[in-house]
Structure 1
């Protein structure tokens, strides 16, 4: 490169600089060529694609109906289909199969139907529009006009078959999830305030129903426990519902390792403690006990409770300790309950504080 006598390089046409008056400009290539689809030029193809989309939305509707059949018609307690399928385990498998298959078809039909609709029938021309703030009445009117144009171009107004099946699928599909959410807990939360436990009720092993002697509970051992009066309830009378509320974990620690509040001084017997097995997060069953640390772990979301410290939450999303069941022994040395739980069992909810106060006032 040539340079001046003072060492500065001479300008060259090979390198573009900002001082150049004429800069090279690239022409706007415009939008690429847009080949028409078969559905754009062939009415029969368009009608076939419309029927395919409607069939997919119809599949979603059938999936939702299949979910409701599995949820409401197939009973696990043996009330229905006793002759055809008397095994409750088989009924449970059938119900789970129908629920899963129904939700799959409901979501698959809507998703694939919308994708197929967009790829074959909705306008696919590329457009460039300037963004601007919607502020004035005129701008809002323009925005409304754009929405109406989109509806017109999508064909939803002039394709009633697609419109009607889509409406049906959109209405039914969310109902399956609402139904599942409804089963997460009772609408009337007061049912969680009382269980089958009461003063003098023996603690029995689940599922054998054998009473538990305090002398047989060794250090580090864990028992899954039910109230003895639950054994006389049939499935038709709500056995599973009552068991879900009353199930308890029983364990024995060294008395000096327990951190006991003054008002709970007589809730344990010689280091034997009992806590609700239902996690206070979303109600999963707690079944993992770590003997060395005295930690109880919920397998669903890893909420961890300290059994030596009145099952206080030390990790995870749970917001409340596990409710403790006051226990003692009877004249024969069997473990019995002193009373029911003093607070609601199960997941935390917005009325939990009020329910706890009502239970304390009743006691």
Structure 2
């Protein structure tokens, strides 16, 4: 078995390229090693003009890759996620997805095509053979490999062909930026968006089932009712986004059963309002145990005590459910006295 090696290491028992000795050996033994065919020089090896042309082609491909990567980043910024365009023959497609796929494909293809064209036209292409060596190389073999590496690097023209080298390094430097930009799809930074919901001072608590304002007499001891802010309608474009933060659960406890003083002060005659969004991963809480005043998240079994500030009793949730301060307005309806004083839902790195 043979492998690529140094030209100087060709075994003596192998026939030389295109020699009569090789043809003679083939006639005597059809299974004999015929050796390598005579080396044919490429046009770029003998014509400096052709070599310069290949160099310009390789450089152009690397530059094209850089431009395509810049186009990828520009498309990511320019096109909105919901923009649909008609492109023949694909039909109606997402402008963002199509442009990202096209520019990234061109960027990667141009790098590969440039590298292949460089290797095929400008790097050394003479085939040489060497006996397969043992896995544990001796000092002489390691030195031979080192010399082969030095020779190969010299023959590749990497140090001499600065235009190719610099354009390749530029393309390889820019392409990873496409992956960095894609990190934006992990979601926008929360900023202060999680600090505020649709609740505000004076907004009535609307029963999510009847769409009517909740009154104290509508909430019985031991019952669990779900509410949403006044003015939030399902027909709104951002309804799902708003209700995901503003969903509320209302329970009525006997005042003597409420252990937490702030919870008692923030309620009305034993009626207390807590966020319905679990503080673990944001699942909606809906399982209420009347005798213990515990609510259970059905996703991962986080359990909260609604009689003690909704503190966590069990499960992976990291902090209590936020409480909404409520009262009664002049119409006798339950109203909010402001927004939640802390972000609802799962913890995040800017939780205040």
Give TM-score scaled by structure 2 length: 0.50
1:155-170 alignment, distance < 5 Å: 158-170=164-176
Counterpart position of 1:66:
75
Counterpart position of 1:294:
295
User: What secondary structure, in the 3-state scheme, does the structure 2 residue paired with 1:265 have?
Assistant: helix
Among 167, 177, 196, the alignment partner of 1:171 is 177
Among 182, 188, 209, the alignment partner of 1:183 is 188
After TM superposition, give the deviation of residue 63 of structure 1 in Å: 4.2
After TM superposition, give the deviation of residue 348 of structure 1 in Å: 3.5
Counterpart position of 1:16:
none
After TM superposition, give the deviation of residue 349 of structure 1 in Å: 4.8
Counterpart position of 1:243:
242
After TM superposition, give the deviation of residue 325 of structure 1 in Å: 0.5
User: What secondary structure, in the 3-state scheme, does the structure 1 residue paired with 2:214 have?
Assistant: coil
Unmatched 5+ stretches in structure 2: 6-40, 45-49, 86-91, 125-129, 138-148
Shift of the 224–106 alpha-carbon distance from structure 1 to 2, 3 Å rule, reads farther
Counterpart position of 2:325:
326
After TM superposition, give the deviation of residue 247 of structure 1 in Å: 0.9
Shift of the 277–129 alpha-carbon distance from structure 1 to 2, 3 Å rule, reads farther
Q: Quick check: 1:222–1:251 contact (8 Å CA) kept in 2?
A: yes
Shift of the 175–197 alpha-carbon distance from structure 1 to 2, 3 Å rule, reads same
User: What secondary structure, in the 3-state scheme, does the structure 2 residue paired with 1:294 have?
Assistant: strand
Counterpart position of 2:31:
none
CA distance in 1, matches of 2:96, 2:252: 43
Shift of the 150–108 alpha-carbon distance from structure 1 to 2, 3 Å rule, reads farther
1:1-363 alignment, distance < 5 Å: 32-34=2-4, 61-71=70-80, 97=94, 158-177=164-183, 179-180=184-185, 183-186=188-191, 189=192, 193=195, 195=197, 197-204=199-206, 210-217=212-219, 221-226=224-229, 228=230, 243=242, 247-252=246-251, 255=254, 260-269=259-268, 272-277=271-276, 280=279, 285-292=282-289, 294-296=295-297, 302=300, 304-306=302-304, 308=306, 309-313=308-312, 314-316=314-316, 318-345=317-344, 347-349=346-348, 352=351, 355=352
CA distance in 2, matches of 1:338, 1:54: 61
CA distance in 1, matches of 2:330, 2:315: 39
Cα deviation code 1:189-236 (max 9, x no counterpart): 4x655555344321235699642334445655542512x2667xx98x
After TM superposition, give the deviation of residue 246 of structure 1 in Å: 5.5
CA distance in 2, matches of 1:110, 1:208: 56
CA distance in 2, matches of 1:223, 1:344: 19
CA distance in 2, matches of 1:322, 1:151: 68
Cα deviation code 1:76-98 (max 9, x no counterpart): xxxxx9xx9xxxxxxxx98xx55
After TM superposition, give the deviation of residue 170 of structure 1 in Å: 2.2
User: What secondary structure, in the 3-state scheme, does the structure 1 residue paired with 2:3 have?
Assistant: coil
CA distance in 2, matches of 1:305, 1:153: 67
How large is the RMSD of aligned CA atoms in angstroms? 5.7
Q: Quick check: 2:277–2:285 contact (8 Å CA) kept in 1?
A: no
Shift of the 116–216 alpha-carbon distance from structure 1 to 2, 3 Å rule, reads farther
User: What secondary structure, in the 3-state scheme, does the structure 2 residue paired with 1:225 have?
Assistant: strand
Cα deviation code 1:270-329 (max 9, x no counterpart): 664432355556xx65324224562135x6xx583525353434323x532221112233
Shift of the 206–173 alpha-carbon distance from structure 1 to 2, 3 Å rule, reads farther
Matched pairs, number: 267
Q: Quick check: 1:66–1:99 contact (8 Å CA) kept in 2?
A: yes
Unmatched 5+ stretches in structure 1: 1-30, 36-40, 76-80, 85-92, 131-145, 356-363
CA distance in 1, matches of 2:302, 2:154: 52
CA distance in 2, matches of 1:194, 1:180: 23
